[in-house]
Structure 1
Amino acid sequence: MHQTSPPTRRDRKKQQTRQAIGEAAMRLFLDRGFDAVTIADVAREADVAVQTVFNHFPTKEDLFFQERDAYVSLPSTAVRTRRHETESVAQALAHGYLRLLADYHVAGLLGHGVEYQRTLDASPALRGRELELRQEREHLLAAALAEEPPPLGEGLRPNLMAAFASAVDRVLDTEIRRRLLAGEPAEQVQAAVEPMVTELFSVAEAACRNTS
Protein backbone atom coordinates (compact mmCIF):
# COMPACT_ATOMS: atom_id res chain seq x y z
CA MET A 1 0.00 0.00 0.00
CA HIS A 2 1.32 3.45 -0.91
CA GLN A 3 1.95 5.64 2.11
CA THR A 4 2.02 9.42 1.92
CA SER A 5 5.26 10.91 3.17
CA PRO A 6 4.91 13.24 6.16
CA PRO A 7 5.26 16.95 5.34
CA THR A 8 8.78 18.29 5.46
CA ARG A 9 9.85 21.40 7.35
CA ARG A 10 9.85 23.27 4.03
CA ASP A 11 6.29 22.09 3.31
CA ARG A 12 5.13 23.23 6.74
CA LYS A 13 6.78 26.61 6.25
CA LYS A 14 5.07 27.08 2.88
CA GLN A 15 1.70 26.19 4.38
CA GLN A 16 2.22 28.62 7.25
CA THR A 17 3.12 31.38 4.79
CA ARG A 18 0.07 30.62 2.67
CA GLN A 19 -2.18 30.70 5.72
CA ALA A 20 -0.71 33.99 6.92
CA ILE A 21 -1.24 35.56 3.49
CA GLY A 22 -4.80 34.26 3.29
CA GLU A 23 -5.70 35.55 6.74
CA ALA A 24 -4.13 38.95 6.04
CA ALA A 25 -6.02 39.26 2.75
CA MET A 26 -9.36 38.36 4.30
CA ARG A 27 -8.90 40.88 7.11
CA LEU A 28 -8.31 43.61 4.56
CA PHE A 29 -11.12 42.55 2.24
CA LEU A 30 -13.69 42.47 5.04
CA ASP A 31 -12.48 45.79 6.44
CA ARG A 32 -12.02 47.82 3.23
CA GLY A 33 -13.86 45.92 0.52
CA PHE A 34 -12.35 43.70 -2.17
CA ASP A 35 -11.90 46.33 -4.87
CA ALA A 36 -10.13 48.79 -2.54
CA VAL A 37 -7.39 46.31 -1.58
CA THR A 38 -4.31 45.69 -3.74
CA ILE A 39 -1.90 42.77 -3.79
CA ALA A 40 0.74 45.15 -2.43
CA ASP A 41 -1.57 45.91 0.52
CA VAL A 42 -1.87 42.18 1.23
CA ALA A 43 1.89 41.69 1.00
CA ARG A 44 2.50 44.50 3.50
CA GLU A 45 -0.15 43.15 5.88
CA ALA A 46 1.35 39.66 5.75
CA ASP A 47 4.95 40.99 5.82
CA VAL A 48 5.98 39.15 2.64
CA ALA A 49 7.05 40.16 -0.86
CA VAL A 50 4.45 40.75 -3.55
CA GLN A 51 5.86 37.85 -5.57
CA THR A 52 5.39 35.57 -2.56
CA VAL A 53 1.67 36.40 -2.60
CA PHE A 54 1.48 35.49 -6.29
CA ASN A 55 3.40 32.26 -5.65
CA HIS A 56 0.57 31.08 -3.41
CA PHE A 57 -2.43 32.84 -5.00
CA PRO A 58 -2.17 33.50 -8.76
CA THR A 59 -5.00 36.06 -8.81
CA LYS A 60 -6.56 38.49 -6.38
CA GLU A 61 -9.85 36.59 -6.66
CA ASP A 62 -8.03 33.43 -5.49
CA LEU A 63 -7.19 35.28 -2.28
CA PHE A 64 -10.90 35.70 -1.59
CA PHE A 65 -11.96 32.21 -2.70
CA GLN A 66 -9.06 30.55 -0.92
CA GLU A 67 -10.57 27.07 -0.73
CA ARG A 68 -11.85 27.04 -4.29
CA ASP A 69 -10.44 23.59 -5.20
CA ALA A 70 -12.14 21.85 -2.29
CA TYR A 71 -15.37 23.76 -2.93
CA VAL A 72 -15.48 22.99 -6.64
CA SER A 73 -14.65 19.28 -6.33
CA LEU A 74 -16.66 18.47 -3.19
CA PRO A 75 -20.00 17.30 -4.74
CA SER A 76 -18.42 15.17 -7.48
CA THR A 77 -15.97 13.64 -5.00
CA ALA A 78 -18.80 12.92 -2.55
CA VAL A 79 -20.72 11.04 -5.25
CA ARG A 80 -17.73 9.04 -6.50
CA THR A 81 -16.49 8.01 -3.04
CA ARG A 82 -19.81 7.18 -1.41
CA ARG A 83 -20.84 3.71 -0.22
CA HIS A 84 -23.07 2.64 -3.13
CA GLU A 85 -24.80 -0.12 -1.21
CA THR A 86 -26.01 2.07 1.65
CA GLU A 87 -25.76 5.71 0.51
CA SER A 88 -27.82 7.40 -2.20
CA VAL A 89 -26.60 10.25 -4.38
CA ALA A 90 -28.80 12.63 -2.40
CA GLN A 91 -27.34 11.43 0.89
CA ALA A 92 -23.79 11.81 -0.42
CA LEU A 93 -24.49 15.38 -1.58
CA ALA A 94 -26.14 16.22 1.73
CA HIS A 95 -23.22 14.80 3.71
CA GLY A 96 -20.80 16.79 1.56
CA TYR A 97 -22.70 20.04 2.10
CA LEU A 98 -22.90 19.46 5.84
CA ARG A 99 -19.18 18.65 6.04
CA LEU A 100 -18.37 21.93 4.31
CA LEU A 101 -20.73 23.81 6.63
CA ALA A 102 -19.10 22.19 9.67
CA ASP A 103 -15.62 23.04 8.37
CA TYR A 104 -16.65 26.68 7.96
CA HIS A 105 -18.01 26.72 11.49
CA VAL A 106 -14.91 25.13 13.02
CA ALA A 107 -12.69 27.59 11.15
CA GLY A 108 -14.79 30.50 12.41
CA LEU A 109 -15.89 31.43 8.89
CA LEU A 110 -19.60 30.85 9.47
CA GLY A 111 -19.65 33.62 12.06
CA HIS A 112 -18.18 36.00 9.47
CA GLY A 113 -20.66 34.92 6.81
CA VAL A 114 -22.54 38.22 6.77
CA GLU A 115 -19.42 40.36 6.25
CA TYR A 116 -18.11 37.85 3.72
CA GLN A 117 -21.32 37.99 1.68
CA ARG A 118 -21.52 41.77 1.82
CA THR A 119 -17.96 41.99 0.53
CA LEU A 120 -18.76 39.54 -2.27
CA ASP A 121 -21.99 41.32 -3.25
CA ALA A 122 -20.21 44.69 -3.47
CA SER A 123 -17.66 43.47 -6.05
CA PRO A 124 -18.65 42.69 -9.66
CA ALA A 125 -15.33 40.84 -10.09
CA LEU A 126 -16.09 38.53 -7.17
CA ARG A 127 -19.67 37.91 -8.27
CA GLY A 128 -18.43 36.92 -11.70
CA ARG A 129 -15.80 34.60 -10.26
CA GLU A 130 -18.34 33.01 -7.92
CA LEU A 131 -20.57 32.22 -10.90
CA GLU A 132 -17.63 30.61 -12.71
CA LEU A 133 -16.86 28.44 -9.67
CA ARG A 134 -20.48 27.33 -9.34
CA GLN A 135 -20.58 26.43 -13.04
CA GLU A 136 -17.33 24.48 -12.78
CA ARG A 137 -18.69 22.66 -9.75
CA GLU A 138 -21.89 21.77 -11.60
CA HIS A 139 -20.00 20.45 -14.65
CA LEU A 140 -17.79 18.20 -12.50
CA LEU A 141 -20.84 16.84 -10.70
CA ALA A 142 -22.63 16.12 -13.98
CA ALA A 143 -19.57 14.18 -15.19
CA ALA A 144 -19.57 12.09 -11.99
CA LEU A 145 -23.30 11.42 -12.26
CA ALA A 146 -22.90 10.28 -15.89
CA GLU A 147 -20.95 7.31 -14.48
CA GLU A 148 -23.97 6.23 -12.42
CA PRO A 149 -26.19 3.28 -13.49
CA PRO A 150 -29.64 3.96 -14.98
CA PRO A 151 -31.84 5.79 -14.52
CA LEU A 152 -29.79 8.57 -12.91
CA GLY A 153 -26.78 8.12 -15.19
CA GLU A 154 -28.55 8.10 -18.56
CA GLY A 155 -29.78 10.72 -20.99
CA LEU A 156 -30.06 14.25 -19.67
CA ARG A 157 -30.47 13.13 -16.06
CA PRO A 158 -26.82 13.73 -15.01
CA ASN A 159 -27.00 17.35 -16.19
CA LEU A 160 -30.45 17.76 -14.67
CA MET A 161 -29.43 16.36 -11.29
CA ALA A 162 -26.31 18.55 -11.25
CA ALA A 163 -28.47 21.60 -11.98
CA PHE A 164 -30.90 20.60 -9.22
CA ALA A 165 -27.97 20.20 -6.79
CA SER A 166 -26.67 23.66 -7.71
CA ALA A 167 -30.12 25.13 -7.07
CA VAL A 168 -30.28 23.40 -3.69
CA ASP A 169 -26.86 24.83 -2.81
CA ARG A 170 -28.02 28.35 -3.65
CA VAL A 171 -31.29 28.01 -1.70
CA LEU A 172 -29.45 26.71 1.37
CA ASP A 173 -26.75 29.38 1.14
CA THR A 174 -29.43 32.08 0.95
CA GLU A 175 -31.25 30.66 3.98
CA ILE A 176 -28.02 30.57 5.99
CA ARG A 177 -27.28 34.20 5.12
CA ARG A 178 -30.84 35.24 6.02
CA ARG A 179 -30.57 33.64 9.45
CA LEU A 180 -27.14 35.11 10.12
CA LEU A 181 -28.36 38.58 9.11
CA ALA A 182 -31.28 38.13 11.51
CA GLY A 183 -28.76 37.69 14.32
CA GLU A 184 -29.03 33.95 14.91
CA PRO A 185 -25.88 32.39 16.43
CA ALA A 186 -23.81 30.27 14.04
CA GLU A 187 -24.45 27.10 16.08
CA GLN A 188 -28.20 27.65 15.89
CA VAL A 189 -28.08 28.30 12.15
CA GLN A 190 -26.12 25.11 11.56
CA ALA A 191 -28.58 23.02 13.60
CA ALA A 192 -31.62 24.55 11.90
CA VAL A 193 -30.31 23.99 8.38
CA GLU A 194 -29.26 20.35 8.77
CA PRO A 195 -32.72 18.76 8.24
CA MET A 196 -33.37 21.07 5.29
CA VAL A 197 -30.18 19.86 3.59
CA THR A 198 -31.19 16.20 3.66
CA GLU A 199 -34.77 16.91 2.58
CA LEU A 200 -33.93 19.19 -0.35
CA PHE A 201 -31.31 16.93 -1.89
CA SER A 202 -33.68 13.94 -1.52
CA VAL A 203 -36.47 15.84 -3.27
CA ALA A 204 -34.08 16.79 -6.07
CA GLU A 205 -32.95 13.21 -6.65
CA ALA A 206 -36.52 11.86 -6.58
CA ALA A 207 -37.63 14.47 -9.13
CA CYS A 208 -34.73 13.63 -11.41
CA ARG A 209 -35.33 9.88 -11.24
CA ASN A 210 -39.02 10.37 -12.07
CA THR A 211 -38.28 12.53 -15.12
CA SER A 212 -39.07 10.68 -18.33
Structure 2
Amino acid sequence: MVEGLRERKKRQTRQRIVDVAIGLFVERGFEHVTIAEVAAAAEVSVNTVYNYFPAKEDLVLPPEEASPHRLADIVRERPPGQSAAGAVLARLRAEVRGRERQVGLTEGFGRVLEMMRAAPTLAARLEDLGRRMTDELAVVLAEETGAAEGDPLPRVAAWHIGCLHSLVYAEIGRRTVAGEPPDAIAAAVLELMDAAEELLGERVLAYAVRKG
Protein backbone atom coordinates (compact mmCIF):
# COMPACT_ATOMS: atom_id res chain seq x y z
CA MET A 1 0.00 0.00 0.00
CA VAL A 2 1.39 3.39 -1.07
CA GLU A 3 1.69 5.94 1.70
CA GLY A 4 -0.25 9.13 0.93
CA LEU A 5 1.13 12.63 1.41
CA ARG A 6 -0.99 13.27 4.51
CA GLU A 7 0.03 9.99 6.13
CA ARG A 8 3.69 10.65 5.37
CA LYS A 9 3.54 14.13 6.90
CA LYS A 10 1.85 12.75 10.01
CA ARG A 11 4.50 10.04 10.33
CA GLN A 12 7.30 12.56 9.90
CA THR A 13 5.76 14.93 12.44
CA ARG A 14 5.36 12.11 14.93
CA GLN A 15 8.96 11.00 14.46
CA ARG A 16 10.25 14.56 14.82
CA ILE A 17 8.40 14.93 18.11
CA VAL A 18 9.87 11.66 19.39
CA ASP A 19 13.41 12.54 18.32
CA VAL A 20 13.24 15.98 19.92
CA ALA A 21 11.67 14.63 23.11
CA ILE A 22 14.23 11.84 23.54
CA GLY A 23 17.05 14.33 23.01
CA LEU A 24 15.68 16.64 25.70
CA PHE A 25 14.98 13.78 28.11
CA VAL A 26 18.50 12.40 27.74
CA GLU A 27 20.04 15.83 28.15
CA ARG A 28 17.99 17.06 31.12
CA GLY A 29 16.17 14.05 32.57
CA PHE A 30 12.65 12.84 31.85
CA GLU A 31 11.06 14.52 34.84
CA HIS A 32 12.67 17.89 34.13
CA VAL A 33 11.20 18.38 30.66
CA THR A 34 7.60 19.47 30.08
CA ILE A 35 5.35 18.67 27.15
CA ALA A 36 5.26 22.40 26.39
CA GLU A 37 9.04 22.39 26.05
CA VAL A 38 8.92 19.37 23.77
CA ALA A 39 6.29 21.06 21.61
CA ALA A 40 8.29 24.28 21.36
CA ALA A 41 11.49 22.47 20.41
CA ALA A 42 9.64 20.36 17.81
CA GLU A 43 7.86 23.47 16.51
CA VAL A 44 4.37 22.08 17.00
CA SER A 45 1.55 22.90 19.37
CA VAL A 46 1.05 21.25 22.74
CA ASN A 47 -2.23 19.83 21.44
CA THR A 48 -0.39 18.25 18.52
CA VAL A 49 1.95 16.45 20.89
CA TYR A 50 -0.98 15.14 22.93
CA ASN A 51 -2.81 14.08 19.77
CA TYR A 52 0.07 11.73 18.98
CA PHE A 53 1.07 10.90 22.56
CA PRO A 54 -1.72 11.01 25.18
CA ALA A 55 0.79 10.50 28.02
CA LYS A 56 4.30 11.86 28.42
CA GLU A 57 5.61 8.32 28.92
CA ASP A 58 4.31 7.41 25.45
CA LEU A 59 7.06 9.59 23.96
CA VAL A 60 9.63 7.10 25.27
CA LEU A 61 7.54 3.91 25.32
CA PRO A 62 4.99 4.24 22.50
CA PRO A 63 2.19 1.66 22.93
CA GLU A 64 2.66 0.22 19.44
CA GLU A 65 6.29 -0.61 20.25
CA ALA A 66 6.15 -1.25 24.00
CA SER A 67 2.98 -3.31 23.79
CA PRO A 68 1.60 -5.67 26.45
CA HIS A 69 0.39 -7.80 23.53
CA ARG A 70 3.92 -8.50 22.25
CA LEU A 71 4.42 -12.05 23.54
CA ALA A 72 0.82 -13.07 22.90
CA ASP A 73 1.01 -11.74 19.34
CA ILE A 74 4.28 -13.56 18.64
CA VAL A 75 2.71 -16.81 19.80
CA ARG A 76 -0.51 -16.25 17.86
CA GLU A 77 1.47 -15.63 14.66
CA ARG A 78 3.69 -18.73 14.88
CA PRO A 79 3.55 -21.27 12.06
CA PRO A 80 2.32 -24.86 12.42
CA GLY A 81 4.76 -27.15 14.16
CA GLN A 82 6.29 -24.41 16.31
CA SER A 83 5.82 -24.18 20.06
CA ALA A 84 5.10 -21.03 22.02
CA ALA A 85 8.61 -20.87 23.48
CA GLY A 86 10.10 -21.67 20.08
CA ALA A 87 8.23 -18.77 18.51
CA VAL A 88 9.48 -16.28 21.09
CA LEU A 89 13.04 -17.58 20.84
CA ALA A 90 12.96 -17.31 17.05
CA ARG A 91 11.63 -13.74 17.15
CA LEU A 92 14.18 -12.62 19.73
CA ARG A 93 17.04 -14.19 17.80
CA ALA A 94 15.91 -12.47 14.59
CA GLU A 95 15.66 -9.10 16.34
CA VAL A 96 19.06 -9.49 17.99
CA ARG A 97 20.73 -10.61 14.75
CA GLY A 98 19.12 -7.67 12.96
CA ARG A 99 20.35 -5.22 15.64
CA GLU A 100 16.78 -3.97 15.78
CA ARG A 101 15.60 -0.93 17.70
CA GLN A 102 12.92 -3.13 19.27
CA VAL A 103 15.56 -4.73 21.49
CA GLY A 104 17.67 -1.62 21.96
CA LEU A 105 20.60 -2.67 19.79
CA THR A 106 21.24 0.74 18.26
CA GLU A 107 24.05 3.22 18.75
CA GLY A 108 23.34 5.74 21.51
CA PHE A 109 20.72 3.63 23.25
CA GLY A 110 22.81 3.45 26.40
CA ARG A 111 22.08 7.05 27.36
CA VAL A 112 18.38 6.56 26.61
CA LEU A 113 18.29 3.48 28.83
CA GLU A 114 19.98 5.30 31.70
CA MET A 115 17.43 8.10 31.37
CA MET A 116 14.59 5.59 31.49
CA ARG A 117 15.96 3.84 34.56
CA ALA A 118 16.30 7.17 36.37
CA ALA A 119 12.62 8.06 35.82
CA PRO A 120 10.29 6.32 38.34
CA THR A 121 7.23 6.52 36.07
CA LEU A 122 9.08 4.93 33.15
CA ALA A 123 10.60 2.23 35.36
CA ALA A 124 7.13 1.47 36.75
CA ARG A 125 5.66 1.28 33.26
CA LEU A 126 8.36 -1.16 32.17
CA GLU A 127 7.68 -3.38 35.18
CA ASP A 128 3.94 -3.30 34.55
CA LEU A 129 4.53 -4.01 30.87
CA GLY A 130 6.42 -7.21 31.65
CA ARG A 131 3.67 -8.41 33.99
CA ARG A 132 0.93 -7.69 31.47
CA MET A 133 2.84 -9.46 28.68
CA THR A 134 3.05 -12.61 30.80
CA ASP A 135 -0.61 -12.40 31.83
CA GLU A 136 -1.81 -12.04 28.25
CA LEU A 137 0.41 -14.88 27.08
CA ALA A 138 -0.99 -17.15 29.78
CA VAL A 139 -4.52 -16.46 28.51
CA VAL A 140 -3.53 -17.32 24.92
CA LEU A 141 -1.80 -20.53 26.01
CA ALA A 142 -4.81 -21.61 28.05
CA GLU A 143 -7.11 -21.01 25.07
CA GLU A 144 -4.89 -22.81 22.57
CA THR A 145 -4.22 -25.86 24.73
CA GLY A 146 -7.81 -26.13 25.95
CA ALA A 147 -6.56 -26.10 29.54
CA ALA A 148 -9.17 -26.55 32.22
CA GLU A 149 -9.95 -23.62 34.48
CA GLY A 150 -7.43 -23.56 37.29
CA ASP A 151 -4.82 -25.57 35.36
CA PRO A 152 -1.48 -23.96 36.31
CA LEU A 153 0.46 -25.10 33.23
CA PRO A 154 -0.39 -22.15 30.92
CA ARG A 155 0.65 -19.64 33.56
CA VAL A 156 3.81 -21.55 34.45
CA ALA A 157 4.79 -21.81 30.77
CA ALA A 158 4.02 -18.11 30.25
CA TRP A 159 6.15 -17.25 33.27
CA HIS A 160 9.13 -19.17 31.88
CA ILE A 161 8.77 -17.52 28.48
CA GLY A 162 8.27 -14.09 30.05
CA CYS A 163 11.39 -14.54 32.20
CA LEU A 164 13.41 -15.48 29.12
CA HIS A 165 12.14 -12.39 27.33
CA SER A 166 13.02 -10.20 30.32
CA LEU A 167 16.44 -11.81 30.63
CA VAL A 168 17.32 -10.89 27.06
CA TYR A 169 16.32 -7.26 27.59
CA ALA A 170 18.12 -7.09 30.93
CA GLU A 171 21.33 -8.46 29.41
CA ILE A 172 21.17 -6.04 26.51
CA GLY A 173 20.56 -3.21 28.97
CA ARG A 174 23.42 -4.22 31.26
CA ARG A 175 25.91 -4.47 28.43
CA THR A 176 24.65 -1.31 26.76
CA VAL A 177 25.11 0.76 29.92
CA ALA A 178 28.59 -0.76 30.28
CA GLY A 179 29.46 0.75 26.89
CA GLU A 180 29.72 -2.42 24.79
CA PRO A 181 29.06 -1.97 21.05
CA PRO A 182 25.89 -3.46 19.51
CA ASP A 183 27.74 -6.19 17.60
CA ALA A 184 29.47 -7.47 20.74
CA ILE A 185 26.22 -7.31 22.71
CA ALA A 186 24.34 -9.23 20.01
CA ALA A 187 26.93 -12.02 19.99
CA ALA A 188 26.85 -12.33 23.78
CA VAL A 189 23.05 -12.29 23.94
CA LEU A 190 22.72 -14.97 21.27
CA GLU A 191 25.05 -17.15 23.32
CA LEU A 192 22.99 -16.41 26.42
CA MET A 193 19.82 -17.44 24.60
CA ASP A 194 21.39 -20.75 23.58
CA ALA A 195 22.20 -21.48 27.23
CA ALA A 196 18.72 -20.41 28.36
CA GLU A 197 17.08 -22.66 25.76
CA GLU A 198 19.02 -25.66 27.03
CA LEU A 199 17.90 -24.99 30.60
CA LEU A 200 14.24 -24.50 29.70
CA GLY A 201 13.91 -28.21 29.05
CA GLU A 202 11.71 -30.16 26.68
CA ARG A 203 8.55 -29.69 28.78
CA VAL A 204 8.53 -25.93 28.15
CA LEU A 205 10.05 -26.01 24.66
CA ALA A 206 7.45 -28.54 23.46
CA TYR A 207 4.48 -26.88 25.16
CA ALA A 208 1.67 -25.52 22.96
CA VAL A 209 2.98 -26.67 19.58
CA ARG A 210 0.72 -25.27 16.88
CA LYS A 211 -1.09 -27.98 14.95
CA GLY A 212 -1.00 -28.00 11.18
Do the structures match in fold with TM over 0.5?
yes
Structure 1: which amino acid aligns with 2:134?
Answer: E
State the Cα distance separating 1:90 from its structure 2 match: 1.8
Q: 1:135 aligns with which of 122, 131, 138?
A: 131
State the Cα distance separating 1:20 from its structure 2 match: 0.7
Q: 2:180 aligns with which of 174, 180, 184?
A: 184
Residue aligning to 2:93 = 98
State the number of aligned residues.
Answer: 204
State the Cα distance separating 1:128 from its structure 2 match: 1.3
The answer to whether the 8 Å contact 2:99/2:186 transfers is no
Q: CA RMSD in A?
A: 2.8
Q: Distance in 1 between matches of 2:206 and 2:78?
A: 22
TM-score computed with the length of structure 2 as normaliser: 0.83
Q: 2:31 aligns with which of 26, 35, 40?
A: 35
Render the CA deviation track for 1:155-211: whole Å, top value 9, x for unaligned: 211111222222222222222222223332111111221232244256436354799
Residue aligning to 2:56 = 60
Residue aligning to 1:204 = 200
Q: Distance in 1 between matches of 2:132 and 2:154?
A: 15
Q: Distance in 2 between matches of 1:108 and 1:209?
A: 26
Structure 1: which amino acid aligns with 2:180?
Answer: E
Structure 2: which amino acid aligns with 1:59?
Answer: A
1:89 equivalent in alignment to 2:116:
no
State the Cα distance separating 1:130 from its structure 2 match: 1.3
Unpaired segments ≥5 residues, structure 2: 208-212
Q: Distance in 2 between matches of 1:116 and 1:76?
A: 27
Which fold has the larger relative contact order, with Cα–Cα distance below 8 Å and residues 6 or more apart in sequence?
A: 2
Unpaired segments ≥5 residues, structure 1: none
Sort the Cα spacing of 1:40 and 1:114 in 2 relative to 1 into closer, same or farther, 3 A: same
Identity across the alignment (%): 32
